[in-house]
Chains A and B, each alone.
Chain A
Amino acid sequence: MIRAVMVISTQGKPRLLKFYEFQPPEKQQEIVRYVYGALSGRPENVSNFVDADSIFGQGTRLVYKHMATLYIVFAFDSSENELAMLDLIQVFVQTLDKCFKNVCELDIIFNFNKLHTILDEMILGGQVIETNSDQILKHVDDIARIEKSSSTTSLVPKSISARFGR
């Protein structure tokens, strides 16, 4: 299963963290530091795989892609195929690219909530659920539409909603 999806900037700052097995906050940060440490030292043109036994347990690995100022990292155990995981990162990147039109780090920083929505359409409980970026986007758009149609509250000025609340 996929243990975690992480987007970490090349400065070591977490931009998106999603763990499919609960990790307490300190452990999450330890993982971010470990992963960043493991990746930042790697030269260009090497493999996309890194052993992660010491942080995620026996037999786990990281697969990552380095895109501009971001590392996109999946941690997974021995029940997954390494290259299939790499493909999945590619699907994730494609989806982001389509969603934000040439995605950059700022898009990801300011839309971290949207990223969670996208990720939930792609991976569920550590298993891949959808592998086509257009399909993922379609689901996300559907959600956006439902939101719009039901989100009248946000259009009501604050003062009024406050009065209704009373």
Chain B
Amino acid sequence: MALSGMRGLSVFISDIRNCQNKEQERLRVDKELGNIRTRFKNEKGLSHYEKKKYVWKMLYIYMLGYDVDFGHSEAVSLISAPKYPEKQVGYIVTSCLLNENHDFLRMVINTVRNDIIGRNETFQCLALTMVGNIGGKEFSESLAPDVQRLLISSSCRPVVRKKAALCLLRLYRKNPDVVNVDGWADRMAQLLDERDLGVLTAVMSLFVSLVSNNAEVYWNCLPKCVRILERLARNQDVPPEYTYYGIPSPWLQVKTMRALQYFPTIEDPSARRALFEVLQRILMGTDVVKNVNKNNASHAVLFEALALVMHLDAEKEMMTQCVALLGKFIAVREPNIRYLGLENMTRMLLVTDVQDIIKRHQAQIITSLKDPDISIRRRALDLLYGMCDVTNAKDIVEELLQYLNTAEFAMREELSLKAAILAEKFAPDLSWYVDVILQLIDKAGDFVSDDIWYRVVQFVTNNDDLQPYAALKAREYLDKPAPHETMVKISAYLLGEYGHLLAQRPGCSPKELFLLLNEKIPTVATNTIAILLSSYAKILMHTQPPDPELQEQILIIFRKYESYIDVEIQQRAVEYFELSKKGPALADILAEMPKFPERQSALLRKAEDAEVDTAEQSAIKLRSQQQSSTALVVSSDPHPPNGAVPLTPQLSLVRVPSQTVEEVDHEIATENGLAVIPESKVEPEQVQPEPEPVAAPIQPEHVPVPVNTEPVPAKPPPSAGDLLVDLLGPLMIEGPPAPTGPEAPPSGPHVPPVQATPVAAVSERNLNQGLDLGQELAGALAITTLEDQANSIQPVVNLAEKFHLLCLKDSGVLYEDPYIQIGVKAEWRAHHGRLVLFLGNKNTAPLASVQALILPPAHLQIELSSVPDAIPPRAQVQCPLEVINLRASRDVAVLDFSYKFGTAVVNAKLRLPAVLNKFLQPIALTPEEFFPQWKALAGPPLKLQEVVRGVKPMPLHEMANLFMSLHLAVTPGLDANPNNLVACATFYSETTRAMLCLVRIETDPSDRTQLRMTLASGDPSLTFELKEFIKEHLISIPMAVPSSPVARPVGPAPVQPQSPQTPSRYNDPGAMLAGLL
């Protein structure tokens, strides 16, 4: 029975309590579930009492988080039990365990109906409660008329009627047709005449729901609501049991006022007068008292009254009163009142004329931005955001920037986004705007999306006065230690374009600017390198008279990057190298960027769209409209919720199917009498040099310059991609803008030649190089294959398996064949690693022409000390290797090793075990440390989740061991579910420094081949890479397939999704080779 104890249940609960750990608890639960299952199987010997006891146990187990997948029919069948105690348990447990669509509910629908229409009041209550809690379409269809009848019946007691009212509300939510609108307006009016406050409270809840969907039908109910409010506010005829801390049912008062907020206005003068009198009384008569509970209750009423006053747009006097009250609230110590004060003030911003009064409280609101309570800080941020305009933008944004220094992770993103939006919307002058964005990038670069810095570039380009200032600022930020990558991008752009305006200043000579920028190039991503190269070209062009030394330095860089793995970079390097020989013509080609056409800020558009979305999602239309329009100060022109459309046109240029581009290219190239660009030159995705005339007809609005670059391989989001093209395209080779461009530099009749020259030069060169590269690659492949076929010397160990083992431990054999054995021993400290290769000659003859070459992936810096040319007989040579991890990546470094034995040349390409997990350090976290972190990393891209299938089945402890050997500390006790596994580690790299990684694995005990993995860290690419890395280790281990150095199973993982953040695999020599292996 529910209320008197059940010994078996108590014993079970105390057994669970006595369990020392989760594992014990699980064993105890499993035992109990087994027991229940057997008892339920031979139901004959089961008494109702026992059945009831077991069903309660099931509910308890269910609450602990274990899936209870049987026994539902027993729980449901208790509903049909004749005796009350069993029936009660049946109803309660059923409403907890089953969802509304569960088949078993159909089985009892008749019993439930009989209970509802029966004479037993307690049975009626049970049935109504369950139906009200579960809802469900079928219940709705078959029971609604009966429930309605109970609600309006005069013979039913209040206790039944109020349950019927709420039950009907639930059924109405599922199926609005159950309440017939025409008939119900009058019926509702009658119901609102109810004297019993308990029934009236329930009826009012129902009424709120009805009126929120269709207020017009219920006009006749409006005066009744006012009367109810009057009755309560004047405390007329309110029985003591409905008085809470001396206040006549605050819940009913609140509900009534909420219902009134759904009527657009109140026209009836007498009702309006009466209502305002009541509201006035509430506003004036609420004092702050000592008793917290009384205070809460009275303020619940007061805040609802405030909301109603705002909604009714009362007389100015009353509004002023409200603002004054709110001003008082946001300054009180009581945190709840302050919280609601801030929130309601934000809502109040809707009402015109109060903005100025609210601004008087700005200092107070800013104090709340420093409150210890994050809930209050969020409300303060919303309010500051809402109240910001041109007059106070400077102060508010500066406060937000200052707060950014100390704000916790959970708020930083929102904070920086809001600061950026406000800075753009209300900037009193553009230099201030530039300042703010640069500060934002400096303080929270991770949260500054590309749109934001593109916008800065647009402003700076379009405003000549701003250019020297912006360049100088960029120069200053670049001086700081370890600037954010976004800072490098924007600075490189600004200094390339406008650095020459600073030439007179100390430390700003072209050479100094170049050196400053070039310091960053080893550590930045591919798309940043692209910008840097363009910058160098611009610097070179601006250096007049030419500085031969600087030119030499820059040309060396271009030369170096001509053979860079990324095609885009290659192309730029080649083109800039060629262009730099053009002398004065260079100035024409690389002329300053033309002004951008005016366009709407992508950021602001996004902000608006987000707000529109919010409005649509919200359940209560009216209130959410209020809320969104408060936040939506932007709303000058409404936009469709799908903001993608306006951006796409700019994209069309680069999205033309490659085939067409090539054809067009071809055509134009031939027209101009140029060499046809061979198809093999670039990947089809790479946009080819595209002469301007093609661009113009497709996209007249587009900046009139040739777009011959698309640095998107590393940038999948289309909106970012197209913007990038917008910006970088022109930067690349500044063909003179099309005749349409007003800023077209003087070019005259020789336009086509100038335009054509670089393209011709480049395509020629690219042609050669492309072919060379292709040949080289093909050659390399062919040679290896050939060699392998001819190669009689095969490794005597399974290389994939050895590599895999070395991933998990730090010393072992990497490679062995009849003549040589290569062993590895490694030590790892933070992001540094030291590997020693032991090359052991197994023969009595020397090994000659020994060569070892490291092909490091982009994320590793590897230095191999010199390898001796020959290894004497029976000798072992040690070759130390220094590794520095720059950032997270799964790409693998490859050791290209070869030697000669007699006439046979042996070549092997070996993956080096300098893999992701080596830079992890296990760390054990306490729940107090773990959960805030876990929570703070709320969602993608910092926290990723994936259901992994095809997992190699292994018991949980084995999986825990695997994690341990991957340097992930498995921490028991963090997860309540014994089938789950939580592990933590610190990842070290030069860019991320120490970064905490949290992993959670949820296994399915019934299916060991699948699991759900959640991974969180403070760096999106780390999260992604580590997730994939772990997945590779979980899915399968390399099979023991006899392998040759080439024909070897590829990576251990069958699937290798591309990281969205990191450059594609082919960018990376190591990765490329690892793929080939």
Contacts and interface: CB of A to CB of B under 8 A. Distances in A.
A25 B65 contact: yes
A84 interface: yes
Contacts of A128: 201, 205, 251
B757 interface: no
B166 A125 contact: yes
Contacts of A104: none
B45 A162 contact: yes
B258 A81 contact: yes
Contact of A90 (B296, B340, B938): B296
Given A46-B375, A165-B44, A127 B931 contact: no
B13 A109 contact: yes
B296 A28 contact: no
A69 interface: no
A46 B934 CA distance: 22
Contacts of B299: 83
A14 B64 contact: yes
A146 B296 contact: no
A13 B16 CA distance: 12
Contact of A150 (B84, B135, B376): B84
A125 B172 CA distance: 12
A35 B817 CA distance: 58
Contacts of B68: 25
A153 B83 contact: yes
Contact of A147 (B1, B45, B619): B1
Contact of A161 (B47, B242, B303, B619): B47
Contact of A135 (B241, B250, B258, B932): B241
Interface in B61-108: 62-68, 83-85, 88-89, 92, 96, 98-100
Contacts of B67: 25-26
B681 interface: no
A124 B4 contact: no
Nearest to A38: B935
B244 A28 contact: no
Contacts of B99: 22, 24
A19 to B, nearest CB: 8
Q: Sort chain B's interface into a size bin.
A: 35 or more
Interface in A79-111: 79, 81-84, 86-88, 90-91, 109-111
B241 A16 contact: no
A114 B13 CA distance: 14
Contacts of A20: 133
A43 B372 contact: yes
Nearest to B338: A47
Nearest to A61: B375
A35 B92 CA distance: 24
A161 B378 CA distance: 61
A116 B14 CA distance: 19
B208 interface: yes
Contacts of B62: 25
Contacts of B449: none
B618 A131 contact: no
Nearest to B102: A22
Interface in B149-197: 159, 162-163, 166-167, 169-170
Q: Is the interface of B mostly helix, strand, loop or mixed?
A: helix
A36 B975 CA distance: 12
B133 A124 contact: yes
A124 B166 contact: yes
Residue from the set A26, A140, A166 with the largest chain B CB neighbour count within 10 Å = A26
Given A110-B13, A144-B3, A125 B375 contact: no
A90 B10 CA distance: 27
A51 B83 CA distance: 44
Contact of A45 (B2, B13, B166, B335): B335
Interface in B244-291: 244, 249-251, 254, 258
Contact of A86 (B9, B10, B129, B296): B296
Contact of B254 (A33, A42, A81, A143): A81
Contacts of B92: 113, 116-117, 120
A148 B4 contact: yes
A78 B623 contact: yes
Contacts of A47: 335-336, 338-339, 373, 375-376
B731 to A, nearest CB: 40
B198 A165 contact: no
A16 B63 contact: yes
B624 interface: yes
Contact of A125 (B60, B83, B133, B251): B133
B391 interface: no
Residue from the set A50, A120, A130 with the largest chain B CB neighbour count within 10 Å = A120
B352 interface: no
A125 B1 CA distance: 23
B35 to A, nearest CB: 15
Interface string B595-623: 00000000000000000001001111001
A12 to B, nearest CB: 7
B1000 to A, nearest CB: 10
Contacts of B254: 81, 84
B198 A125 contact: no
B331 interface: no
Contacts of A134: 241
Interface string A66-86: 000000000001110111101
B977 interface: yes
A79 B620 contact: yes
B774 interface: no
B442 to A, nearest CB: 28
Contacts of A84: 250-251, 254, 297, 300
B432 interface: no
Given A14-B65, A29-B976, A83 B296 contact: yes
Given A83-B336, A87-B297, A165-B47, A120 B129 contact: yes
Contact of B63 (A17, A143, A146): A17
B122 interface: yes
Nearest to B162: A129
A159 B163 CA distance: 40
B198 A78 contact: no
Contacts of A139: 159
Given A25-B62, A47-B335, A166-B44, A114 B2 contact: yes
Nearest to A22: B99
A128 B132 CA distance: 12
Nearest to B613: A58
Contacts of A165: 44-47
B162 A79 contact: no
Nearest to B47: A161
B96 A18 contact: yes
Contacts of A166: 44-45
Nearest to B136: A22
A142 B931 CA distance: 43
A159 B977 CA distance: 38
Contacts of A144: 3-4
B445 to A, nearest CB: 24
Contacts of A14: 63-65
B304 interface: yes
Contacts of A126: 170
A17 B939 CA distance: 25
Contacts of B46: 165
Given A59-B617, A143-B3, 5 more contacts: A42-B374, A81-B304, A116-B92, A151-B84, A161-B49
Interface of A: 12-14, 16-20, 22, 24-26, 28-29, 32-34, 36-38, 40-43, 45-51, 54, 57-59, 77-79, 81-84, 86-88, 90-91, 109-114, 116-117, 120, 124-132, 134-135, 139-140, 142-144, 146-148, 150-151, 153-154, 158, 161-162, 165-166
21 contacts: A16-B63, A22-B134, A25-B65, A38-B935, A40-B927, A43-B373, A46-B376, A51-B378, A57-B617, A58-B617, A78-B627, A79-B208, A82-B339, A86-B296, A113-B6, A113-B89, A124-B128, A124-B163, A130-B162, A134-B241, A143-B2
* 3 residue pairs, one from A and one from B, having the closest CB atoms: A83-B300, A46-B373, A125-B132
